[in-house]
Structure 1
Amino acid sequence: MKVLRLNAVVRTTGLARSTIYKLIGSGEFPRPVPLTGRSVGWIETEVVAWIQSRVEARDCF
Protein backbone atom coordinates (compact mmCIF):
# COMPACT_ATOMS: atom_id res chain seq x y z
CA MET A 1 0.00 0.00 0.00
CA LYS A 2 1.36 3.38 -0.98
CA VAL A 3 0.46 6.72 0.61
CA LEU A 4 0.46 9.81 -1.60
CA ARG A 5 1.06 13.28 -0.22
CA LEU A 6 -0.95 16.23 -1.55
CA ASN A 7 1.56 17.23 -4.25
CA ALA A 8 1.47 13.70 -5.67
CA VAL A 9 -2.34 13.70 -5.64
CA VAL A 10 -2.34 17.04 -7.48
CA ARG A 11 0.08 15.66 -10.09
CA THR A 12 -1.83 12.39 -10.44
CA THR A 13 -5.30 13.90 -10.82
CA GLY A 14 -4.42 17.17 -12.51
CA LEU A 15 -6.70 18.94 -10.02
CA ALA A 16 -5.82 21.98 -7.95
CA ARG A 17 -5.40 21.63 -4.19
CA SER A 18 -8.52 23.71 -3.55
CA THR A 19 -10.56 21.53 -5.91
CA ILE A 20 -9.40 18.36 -4.17
CA TYR A 21 -10.49 19.70 -0.78
CA LYS A 22 -13.78 20.95 -2.23
CA LEU A 23 -14.49 17.47 -3.62
CA ILE A 24 -13.57 15.90 -0.27
CA GLY A 25 -16.01 18.25 1.45
CA SER A 26 -18.80 17.20 -0.86
CA GLY A 27 -17.97 13.50 -0.45
CA GLU A 28 -16.88 13.09 -4.07
CA PHE A 29 -13.17 12.36 -3.49
CA PRO A 30 -11.38 9.95 -1.13
CA ARG A 31 -10.70 11.40 2.31
CA PRO A 32 -7.10 11.72 3.45
CA VAL A 33 -5.61 9.52 6.16
CA PRO A 34 -4.04 11.28 9.15
CA LEU A 35 -0.34 10.39 9.36
CA THR A 36 1.23 12.49 12.10
CA GLY A 37 0.32 15.84 13.58
CA ARG A 38 -0.77 17.95 10.63
CA SER A 39 0.40 15.47 7.96
CA VAL A 40 -2.12 13.64 5.85
CA GLY A 41 -1.89 11.35 2.87
CA TRP A 42 -4.14 9.56 0.42
CA ILE A 43 -4.14 5.85 -0.30
CA GLU A 44 -2.91 5.50 -3.89
CA THR A 45 -5.38 2.75 -4.80
CA GLU A 46 -8.30 4.92 -3.67
CA VAL A 47 -7.12 7.84 -5.81
CA VAL A 48 -6.60 5.55 -8.82
CA ALA A 49 -10.07 4.03 -8.28
CA TRP A 50 -11.56 7.55 -8.21
CA ILE A 51 -9.84 8.36 -11.52
CA GLN A 52 -11.08 5.08 -12.99
CA SER A 53 -14.63 5.88 -11.91
CA ARG A 54 -14.40 9.19 -13.77
CA VAL A 55 -13.25 7.36 -16.91
CA GLU A 56 -16.10 4.85 -16.59
CA ALA A 57 -18.62 7.68 -16.12
CA ARG A 58 -17.31 9.33 -19.26
CA ASP A 59 -17.60 6.09 -21.24
CA CYS A 60 -21.26 5.60 -20.27
CA PHE A 61 -22.32 8.49 -22.51
Structure 2
Amino acid sequence: MPKPSLLRLPTVKARTGQSRSAIYAAIQRGEFPKPVPIGARAVAWVESEIDEYIERQIQRRGAA
Protein backbone atom coordinates (compact mmCIF):
# COMPACT_ATOMS: atom_id res chain seq x y z
CA MET A 1 0.00 0.00 0.00
CA PRO A 2 1.48 3.37 -0.96
CA LYS A 3 2.21 5.90 1.75
CA PRO A 4 -0.29 8.74 2.02
CA SER A 5 0.79 12.00 0.49
CA LEU A 6 -0.39 15.52 1.17
CA LEU A 7 -1.39 18.20 -1.30
CA ARG A 8 -1.20 21.94 -0.65
CA LEU A 9 -4.00 24.30 -1.67
CA PRO A 10 -2.64 25.34 -5.11
CA THR A 11 -2.51 21.69 -6.15
CA VAL A 12 -5.97 20.95 -4.74
CA LYS A 13 -7.37 23.95 -6.62
CA ALA A 14 -5.74 22.80 -9.86
CA ARG A 15 -6.93 19.21 -9.49
CA THR A 16 -10.52 20.07 -8.61
CA GLY A 17 -10.96 23.22 -10.68
CA GLN A 18 -12.40 25.01 -7.64
CA SER A 19 -11.42 28.29 -6.04
CA ARG A 20 -10.18 28.62 -2.47
CA SER A 21 -13.50 30.06 -1.32
CA ALA A 22 -15.50 27.29 -3.03
CA ILE A 23 -13.31 24.63 -1.38
CA TYR A 24 -13.72 26.09 2.10
CA ALA A 25 -17.48 26.58 1.60
CA ALA A 26 -17.79 22.91 0.55
CA ILE A 27 -15.81 21.88 3.65
CA GLN A 28 -18.28 23.81 5.82
CA ARG A 29 -21.18 21.98 4.12
CA GLY A 30 -19.47 18.62 4.68
CA GLU A 31 -19.06 18.05 0.92
CA PHE A 32 -15.27 18.29 0.66
CA PRO A 33 -12.46 16.59 2.61
CA LYS A 34 -11.16 18.51 5.61
CA PRO A 35 -7.54 19.63 5.53
CA VAL A 36 -4.83 18.30 7.83
CA PRO A 37 -2.84 20.82 9.87
CA ILE A 38 0.85 20.61 8.95
CA GLY A 39 2.14 23.68 10.75
CA ALA A 40 1.12 26.69 12.78
CA ARG A 41 -0.55 28.33 9.77
CA ALA A 42 -0.41 25.64 7.11
CA VAL A 43 -2.77 22.89 6.01
CA ALA A 44 -2.76 20.22 3.34
CA TRP A 45 -5.18 17.62 2.04
CA VAL A 46 -4.73 13.86 1.90
CA GLU A 47 -4.25 13.03 -1.79
CA SER A 48 -6.36 9.87 -1.68
CA GLU A 49 -9.29 11.83 -0.19
CA ILE A 50 -9.05 14.39 -3.01
CA ASP A 51 -8.95 11.53 -5.53
CA GLU A 52 -12.11 10.06 -3.96
CA TYR A 53 -13.83 13.45 -4.07
CA ILE A 54 -13.02 13.79 -7.78
CA GLU A 55 -14.33 10.26 -8.42
CA ARG A 56 -17.61 11.11 -6.64
CA GLN A 57 -18.00 14.20 -8.80
CA ILE A 58 -17.48 12.11 -11.93
CA GLN A 59 -20.00 9.51 -10.72
CA ARG A 60 -22.55 12.24 -10.00
CA ARG A 61 -22.24 13.34 -13.62
CA GLY A 62 -23.15 9.84 -14.77
CA ALA A 63 -26.13 9.68 -12.40
CA ALA A 64 -27.58 12.98 -13.59
The residue that corresponds to 2:14 in the other structure is: 11
Alignment counterpart, residue 59 of structure 1, candidates 33, 42, 62? 62
Cα RMSD of the aligned pairs, angstroms, is: 0.7
Pairing partner for 1:20 from 18, 23, 26? 23
> Which 4+ stretches in 1 moved above 3 angstroms?
none
1:50 and 2:50 correspond: no
Percent identical: 41
Q: More strand by proportion, 1 or 2?
A: 1
TM-score (norm 1): 0.95
Query: Of the candidates 43, 51, 63, which is equivalent to residue 40 of structure 1?
Result: 43
TM-score of the superposition, structure 2-length normalised? 0.91
Total equivalences in the alignment: 61
The answer for unaligned runs of 5 or more in structure 1 is: none
